[in-house]
Amino acid sequence: MVFLTRRATFSASHYYWNDAWPAERNRQVFGRCANRNGHGHNYTLEVTVAGDPDPVTGFVVDLKWLKDVMEREVLSAYDHRHLNLETPEFATSIPTTENIAIAAWKRLVPAVTAAGGAELSRVRVYETPEIFAEYRGEP
């Protein structure tokens, strides 16, 4: 089995806020991230698929295909958007880096599974070059 990873970038804004908590607790737990006017990041999305190289093409998957899937399923929804206000999954969950990685996985997995051949192995999201979260499909 070979692992293939493709990177893409998107820029988005967000804030951290739990509606079930009083404002003071939100500010205490989330600090500057709780500013309700939001702030933004240049995110890097890393998508890893795993499979055996096709004996004819030598590809695990066609990189151009994977690029298009990432663009269609994730970037078109997240890039230059306010994640709290413009993406349905973050109407009910906080757009932390962990939750963005899980949400991106959920967006990607149907298309990758339907294509056959390779399986989605890992989605990693960098919020900054020093901070990242990863989801591997575990319950």
Partner 1 sequence: MRAYFGRRYTLSASHRLHSDALSAAENQAAYGKCNNPHGHGHNYILEVLAGGRVDPETGMVVNLAAMDEVVRERVLERFDHTNLNLDPLFTNRVPTTENLCKAVFEILEGSLEPAELVQVRVEETENNFFEYGGD
Q: Which residues are catalytic?
A: 33, 80, 127
Does residue number 28 form part of the binding site for partner 1 (CB under 8 A)? no
Does residue number 19 form part of the binding site for partner 1 (CB under 8 A)? no
Q: Using the rule CB under 8 A, which residue among 109, 111, 115, 133 binds partner 1?
A: 133
Whole-number Å distance between alpha carbons of 49 and 57 = 16
b/e sequence 36-72, b meaning 16+ C-beta within 10 Å = eebeebebbbbbbbbbeeeeeeebbbeeeebeebbee
Closest distance of CB 103 from partner 1, Å: 10
The residues that touch partner 1, with contacts defined as CB under 8 A, are: 16, 18, 20-21, 29-31, 93-99, 101-102, 129-136, 138-139
